[in-house]
Amino acid sequence: MYLLYNSLLLLASLGGLPYFALKSLRTTRYRAGLRQRFGHIPEETRASLQGIRPLWLHAVSVGEVIAAVPLVAALQRHFPGLPVLVSTVTETGQMTAREKMAAEACVYFPLDYPWVVRHVIARVQPRLFLMVETEIWPNFLRELACLRIPALLVNGRISPRSFRGYRRLRPFMRQVLQPITSFGMQTKLDAERVIDIGAEPSRVRITGNIKYDLSLTPLAGAEEQQLRDDLGIGKAPVFVAGSTHRGEEELVIAAYLQARAQIPALRLLLAPRHLERLDEIDSLLRQHQLTARRRSLGRPPSYGPAASVLLLDTIGELAKVYAVGTVVFVGGSFVPIGGHNVLEPAAHRKPILFGPHMHNFHQIAAALSEAGGALQVRQPEMLGEHVITLLQHPERRQALGDAAYQVLCDNQGAIERTVGLIAQVLSPNGEN
């Protein structure tokens, strides 16, 4: 089965080479860390890890990195002598990890070719490998097993789409999952799914979702006003649209214009998921006779009618910036992306709106909806009406925000359980 997997992997790589070559000429997103992906370990990384065997934590992109920040901090408290190496796949994930994690080193994850992962693992020699959520790479895990290096899946989840695919490959997945020492899954359903696709039941635990353990403190009134002043929005009501994707900005702009017709002072704070799309979004705003200011250019002196939109063009600020929202929409949910982290605005007691596509955050979205802490907007054309209703009814906003915050508080504790699972593999002094 591994022979077939590697043959298909090689064919896919060769087939996709022209596409990635063209993309790499157009954007740094595909060039970033290319040498590292093929097994090169930077000199500064080798120097920082010289003579030590780190804990290697892998988080794909920004969402997984931010979720893992308090986990890394907890591990460093519990195992102070254990250095941490963090790897990501995306450029934005790499930038976020370097900014927010106190790790010894941050690298790009190697491509899953046998000769590449063999070289990288031999050079790094991790004591323990942690993969966040569902990053399962067959050759990498197989090489860890050959070297008797334990691997743990933490904050594990299996989406409905992934589950359908994995079930079709169950004989192979049983082999792939065999090297994993423990599975810390978010929910009972995730635990059942990973067992169904081949995990040994005795190795599976329900540890909860570490995303509930946000290292994010709600801003006090003066702090929120200071942030508003820094952003140049003063005391105006603000419609925040976070982590939006192509196809959603048009919907957000339409909703904003609809709401602004009722509430003229309303401002829009738009935070696209991928910053390389900023020029595209600027152009879209101009088509609607809207002029945007960008956060990185500093505080504007004031917002007039011609500059009612703020584009958040910085990495890692959105979780805090949600604090200025009067109403919040979380993107990736009107397009079939699967949604983004709705707990960040919940931490600020904000009324939350999201679309129908929330499969990546299904359990969290369901918990918020059932508790009256968020509203799911089934039809995009209804977004503006929901925004208007919430802007006009402060008591409704308060009730939604309070309920969302309570859901967040009620579900915390996953990090402590995850650290306990890791401690079963590591001895008290941080060694295998």
Return the sign of the alpha-carbon dihedral for residues 256, 258, 259, 263: positive
Residue 247's contacts (CB-CB under 8 Å, 6 or more residues apart) are 334, 335
- Catalytic entry in 43, 64, 91, 224: 64
Please name the amino acid found at residue 172.
F
What is the C-alpha to C-alpha distance for residues 117 and 121, in angstroms, rounded to an integer?
6
Give the phi and the psi of residue 251 in degrees, each rounded to 5: -70, -40
Q: Which residue has the tokens 């896919």?
A: 12
Active site residue 64: yes
**Complete edge-to-edge strand list for the sheet that includes strand 374-376:** 292-294, 309-311, 267-272, 238-244, 327-330, 352-354, 374-376
Please name the amino acid found at residue 356.
P
Residue 68's contacts (CB-CB under 8 Å, 6 or more residues apart) are 57, 59, 86, 101, 132, 155, 210
Residue 106's contacts (CB-CB under 8 Å, 6 or more residues apart) are 85, 86, 87, 88, 94, 97, 98
C-alpha distances in Å from residue 311, one per residue of 100, 264, 290: 22, 19, 12
Residues acting as catalytic residues: 64
